[in-house]
Structure 1
């Protein structure tokens, strides 16, 4: 488990801790294993949240997270500085999720209380999170709506589901989504548009 891996960041010189992600990957490729500890410290939480939204299971997410860092460690020499370092690492995580999906049907895309919000504070997806101030009947209805949404997302084609997670749930910039998915920005926009329309149809939210 990642949490049990030794973290030596506190004992490292400040110039090492202050290095960019790309510099750390270069150091790792050159045999400086300590660079991995810094990368783990920086990315274990955001990568874990990203993976969890695909698997819906903590144990699976922990396994994939560990596999992701193992690949980062073993493949650091293949990193191309033309890529943003974080994008390269997220793409490794995404590929690990895809590998697992081929072997095991993903049970849920996101848990009922993990839907993201956009920069304007509004829900990123068409159904809001249950209001804690609502009546018991309203909360029950809202949770049922979220359960329906979760199941609907799970039935989306893989490309639509991936684009929706990165853009609307992770709230990642369109350019980074495009790099992770290996498509153009326009394609990301179209995939998210199609995903939203598909969800509206599945949930009978069309006007």
Structure 2
């Protein structure tokens, strides 16, 4: 955090090159989150670039209360939500290359991992936008409840409730339709 504050001060003092440090630190996690929101790699890249431009212009508004990572996620996610509302964004199916995430090169392991990831992506896509966002922030980005609360600007109790409801909805679908996530349907 201290290093980030130095980068912010450098940028605000006119050293535009210091902003590259911020981009390098956050581009991959933001891209991963936005890709899961859009399910389209090109749209995700565009939205990440636009979000970084917005962050750059709003950098002076970061007051140091709370973590910088929560603040940058909030700016990026709010930008995406604004764009979704403006364009009435339609979710698109996309093949995410899961093979890069698989340690084993055995074809059966690769197939099973891909199928499990596809089913999980489909489950998450059934959720309302606000619950989907909280699930992604919690499990894809491994953020704490407090960080999520800051990002989505909701009380901690609302974050917990939305997360609980989202997991229940996903469990209900698994119970109804079956699939790889039987452990979820047993309260896991």
Bin for the TM-score computed over the shorter chain = 0.7 to 0.9
Structure-to-structure mapping, 1:179-190, within 5 angstroms: 179-190=150-161
Q: CA deviation at 1:133?
A: 5.4
Aligned residue for 2:179? none
1:200 aligns with 2:171: yes
Please list every run of 5 or more consecutive structure 1 residues that lacks an aligned counterpart in the other structure: 1-17, 117-128
Q: Secondary structure at the match of 1:195?
A: helix
Counterpart position of 1:39: 22
Distance (Å, rounded) in 2 between the aligned partners of 1:112 and 1:57 = 12
- Structure 2 gaps of 5+ residues are 176-181
Matched, 1:101 2:72: no
1:103-182 pair list within 5 angstroms: 103=87, 104-108=89-93, 111=96, 113=98, 139=111, 143-144=114-115, 146-182=117-153
Tell me the TM-score normalized by structure 1.
Answer: 0.70
In structure 2, distance between residues paired with 1:20 and 1:135:
44
CA RMSD of superposed structures (Å): 3.1
Deviation at 1:139, TM superposition (A): 4.2
Deviates more, 1:103-112 or 1:27-36: 103-112
Report matched runs for 1:41-60 at 5 Å: 41-60=24-43
Looking at structure 2, the residues matched to 111 and 196 of structure 1 have their Cα atoms a distance apart, in angstroms, of 22
Q: Is the 8 A contact 1:167 1:174 kept in 2?
A: yes
Helix, strand or coil at the partner of 1:20: helix
- The alpha carbon displacement at 1:157 in A equals 1.0
More helix by share: 2
- State the secondary structure of the residue aligned to 2:91: coil
- How many matched pairs? 174
State the Cα deviation string for residues 65-99 of structure 1 (Å, max 9, x = none): 11111112111111111131111111111112212
Q: Does structure 1 conserve the Cα–Cα contact (< 8 Å) formed by 2:98 and 2:114?
A: no
Q: Tell me whether 63-72 or 51-60 shows the greater mean CA deviation.
A: 51-60
Moved over 3 A (4+): 108-114, 131-136, 142-149
More displaced stretch, 105-114 vs 45-54? 105-114
TM-superposed deviation, 1:63:
0.7
Q: Which stretch of structure 1 is more off in the superposition, 104-113 or 61-70?
A: 104-113
